[in-house]
């Protein structure tokens, strides 16, 4: 039995800490996509819009779905690259893309970068794509744990994108669909803010796709909204369910900006209330005691002896607490002093190779032990794979050593 898209929806939000939305999306059945631009406001949004625009005019070309998706993304890559090298204002721009095409009973995916595709089937959420990021590669190779990956200071470094190189490798997949399968494509502005467990819970509990999309964006904003947030949702159904897919002249593709969102729904930004405290049952009253029972009153305790052990226990607890705090303060002071003396090379939010002063760690309560010193014009994706890991390995360096490394990278970029 053939399947079709019976409902779909998209949302994009600028988030809480960005002034410009560099994400774009495609809602053009049978095509769906999310693109997350990088390289600054005048470059990132251009790159993502070019990637989304590559789907305009695409139909069932007769190619295998995976071949078609790969061709579309590689053509978009070439156009973005050509503009980036010919126009200084767009130098270093790029974008991730995760795209889907629904054909009969199958869903094919094309993927570059760290945006993601998920499928919710029978209540179970599954990530379908593999992140092209430095942290994901370290996690897959066993060098860091999943817990460490969640809080890694360089989790924004991507190892593959459209734009930095004249050609790009596109991951493609094809999956068999079932009626009621729900697919989600999203930017890392969502997955960087909420866990997969919370994501699955929202999708399972929402009564409509509109409610699910609004709730996902709201949850990411309530968790900090550090990046642009974009989600695309589509559900499969049997051939006789829902409406026919729109014709070519009825489709829409491109960007959905924060101003186009149902702001009234997103303004309901109230924090979830904690559950009420459990009610404790009172002790049995004297009325429940049998009439023939003998009640023995306890002797009256003298107040001073009774209070003395409590003071001693309280004093011991206070001393232990002060000792622990003193040790933690000493560790924190030592780390802070160390962070003033060393440097390391990483990337900033725009994906550019950047010099940092400090050590690549974060203390509790969001205290960073590093600060940005200088952002180069070299995108991390432009560094060859064989060299990228050595350059961005967070090795502690002297200032001169770190600056020499950045100058070498910039000279190589200019000479290229």
Segment 295-299 shows an average pLDDT of: 37
pLDDT tens digits for 189-243?
Answer: 999 999 999 999 999 999 999 999 999 999 999 999 999 999 999 999 987 654 4
Half-sphere exposure of 10 (CA within 13 A, CB side): 26
Residue 77 CB: number of other CB atoms within 10 A? 28
* Res 266 pLDDT > 60: no
Phi, psi of 165 (to 5 degrees): -125, 155
**End-to-end CA, the chain:** 53
| Region of poorest pLDDT, from 336-340, 342-346, 382-386 | 336-340
| Region of poorest pLDDT, from 180-184, 238-242, 368-372 | 238-242
DSSP string of 308-327? Answer: HHHHHHHHHHHHHHHHHHHH
**CA–CA separation, 86 vs 218, rounded Å?**
39
**CA–CA separation, 136 vs 142, rounded Å?**
10
Is the pLDDT higher at 151 or at 297?
A: 151
User: If we measure between CA atoms, which residue out of 187, 195, 198 comes closest to residue 146?
Assistant: 195
Is the pLDDT higher at 394 or at 86?
A: 86
Is residue 265 very low, low, confident or very high in pLDDT (cuts 50, 70, 90)? Answer: very low
Is the pLDDT higher at 397 or at 168?
A: 168
The per-residue pLDDT for 398 is 81
354: β partners: 346, 375
Segment 282-306 shows an average pLDDT of: 39
The per-residue pLDDT for 343 is 85
Q: What percent of the chain has pLDDT over 70?
A: 71
Sheet hosting strand 252-254, strand order edge to edge? 171-176, 106-112, 94-103, 31-38, 23-28, 252-254
pLDDT tens digits for 11-68?
Answer: 999 999 999 999 999 999 999 999 999 986 568 999 999 999 999 999 888 899 999 9
**CA–CA separation, 128 vs 111, rounded Å?**
10
Listed in sequence order, the DSSP H helices in 127-261 are 134-140, 146-150, 188-191, 196-205, 209-222
| Segment holding 71, helix H or strand E | helix 65-86
| Segment holding 341, helix H or strand E | none
Which residues are CB-neighbours of 274 under 8 A, at least 6 positions away? none
Q: Angle at CA 198, nearest 5°, toward 41 and 211?
A: 75
Mean pLDDT of the chain: 79
């Amino acid at each position: 039995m053939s399947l079709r898209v019976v409902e779909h929806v998209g949302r994009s939000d600028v988030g809480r800490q960005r002034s410009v939305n560099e994400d774009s999306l495609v809602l053009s059945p049978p095509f769906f996509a999310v693109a997350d631009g990088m390289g600054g406001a005048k470059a990132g949004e251009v790159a993502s819009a070019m990637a989304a625009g590559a789907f305009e005019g695409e139909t069932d070309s007769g190619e295998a779905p995976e071949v078609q998706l790969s061709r579309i993304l590689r053509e978009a890559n070439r156009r973005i690259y050509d503009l980036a090298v010919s126009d200084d204002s767009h130098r270093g721009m790029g974008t991730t893309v995760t795209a889907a095409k629904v054909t009969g009973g199958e869903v094919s995916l094309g993927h570059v970068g760290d945006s993601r595709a998920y499928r919710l089937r029978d209540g179970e959420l599954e990530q379908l794509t593999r992140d092209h990021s430095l942290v994901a590669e370290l996690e897959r190779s066993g060098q860091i744990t999943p817990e460490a990956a969640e809080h890694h200071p360089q989790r924004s470094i991507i190892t593959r994108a459209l734009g930095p190189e004249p050609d790009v490798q596109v991951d493609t997949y094809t999956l068999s669909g079932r009626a009621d399968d729900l697919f989600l494509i999203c930017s890392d502005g969502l997955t960087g803010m909420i866990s997969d467990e919370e994501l699955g819970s929202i999708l399972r509990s929402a009564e409509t796709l509109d409610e699910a999309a609004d709730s996902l964006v709201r949850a990411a904003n309530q968790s900090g909204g550090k990046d642009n947030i974009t989600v695309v949702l589509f559900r499969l159904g049997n051939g006789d369910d829902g409406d026919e897919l729109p014709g070519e002249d009825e489709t829409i593709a491109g960007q959905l900006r924060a101003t186009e969102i149902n702001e009234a729904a997103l303004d309901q930004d109230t924090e979830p209330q904690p559950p009420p405290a459990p009610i404790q049952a009172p002790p049995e009253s004297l009325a429940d005691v049998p009439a023939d029972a003998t009640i023995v009153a306890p002797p009256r305790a003298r107040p001073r002896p009774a209070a003395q052990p409590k003071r001693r226990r309280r004093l011991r607890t206070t001393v232990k607490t002060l000792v622990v705090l003193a040790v933690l303060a000493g560790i924190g002071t030592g780390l802070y002093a160390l962070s003033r003396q060393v440097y390391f090379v990483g990337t900033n939010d725009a994906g550019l190779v950047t010099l940092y002063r400090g050590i690549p760690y974060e203390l509790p309560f969001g205290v960073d032990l590093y600060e940005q010193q200088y952002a180069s014009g070299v995108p991390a994706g432009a560094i060859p794979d064989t060299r990228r890991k050595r350059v961005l390995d967070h090795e502690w360096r002297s200032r001169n050593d770190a600056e020499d490394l950045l100058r070498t990278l910039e000279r190589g970029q200019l000479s290229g």
